[in-house]
Amino acid sequence: MKYLTSIIRTLSLALTATLFLPPSSLYALDVIPEDLSTWVEKGTVLTYGTPGSWDEKARGPYPIGVTKKEGIFYLHYLGGFDGCWNADGDINHRSVGLATSTDGINFTKHAGNPILKPHDFVSVSSHEEGIRTAKIRYLPGPGMWLGYFGVESPGGADNCPFMGTTAQCGCNIPVDASIYAATSTDGINWTPKGEVSGVYNGQEKYIDDFQYRNGEYYLWSHRAQGGQGHSASKGTDSMPVS
C-alpha cells in the first residue's frame, strides 16, 4: 500500500515533519508516502481556541507529541491566552492540552483542557510563567506516557490564578526555567514528578526532545542564557537523567 506511513510516525519525527501554517491554519497534517517523494495535504486538523479560551493565542497550538493507542490518536499540544505579559507573542500561562481522533484528521479537544498547567509544577506569581517547551511520548515498555516540560518561574508567592482576575498576577517579570517530568497512564490525568536533576546546570533550562531505548532515557536540552548552550544527558532513571 503506497501510503503506509502513519500519522503518528509523521508527527513523532523531528520538527521538520510538523507543518506550521499561517495563523488562520495553525496546525496542518500531511500523509507521507513510503518513498517520501510525494505529500498529500490533509488540511488543518487543530486550531487555536475562541476568544476568552485558555488556548486563544494565535501562536498556538504547538504540537508536542502524538500517540496512537488502541485505535485512538492522542495529540498533545501547547497553548496560551491573552493576559498582562506583553512580550514573546503575548502568550500567558502556556499549558498542555489534549485532542483525540479515531482517524488522525478529525480531532476533538478534551473537555477538561488544559490537562497540565504551570501551576501543577511551580508556585505561580506572574502571567509570564508557563510551560515554554515540552515533549511527550508513550512508552510501551513501562506502559505510560512520559513528558518533560521546560517550566518558567520567577519564584515567590503562589498568588496568580490560572485564568480570571489579574489583580494578583505580576507582569513582565524576569523568570528562570527548569525541566520537570510528569507521567500518565491514560494521557489525560498526569502526575508531576518534580524537577529533573542531572541536566545542564545553567539558568533557563528547556527540554528539546527525549527518547527511551533499551532501558535508558536520553534527553536533549538547552538554556536560554549564555549563548543558547545545548546539552545531552542519559540515565536509567527518568528523573535523575545524568
Domain boundaries, the chain: 7-235
Q: pLDDT band for position 231 (50/70/90)?
A: confident
Evaluate if residue 217 carries a pLDDT over 80: yes
Using a pLDDT cut of 70, give the percent of the chain over it. Answer: 76
Fold classified for 7-235: Tachylectin-2; Chain A (2.115.10)
Q: pLDDT band for position 225 (50/70/90)?
A: low
Of 101, 106, 121, 105, nearest to 207 by C-alpha is 121
C-alpha cell of residue 204: 533557563
Q: Tell me: the pLDDT tens digits for 7-33? A: 333 333 333 333 333 333 345 556 666
Residues 207-215, mean pLDDT to the nearest whole number: 91
pTM, two decimals, is 0.81
Of 62, 88, 83, 59, nearest to 224 by C-alpha is 88
Q: Which residues pair with 233 in a beta bridge?
A: 219
Contact between residue 154 and residue 173 where contact means Cβ atoms under 8 Å apart: yes
Contact between residue 120 and residue 145 where contact means Cβ atoms under 8 Å apart: no
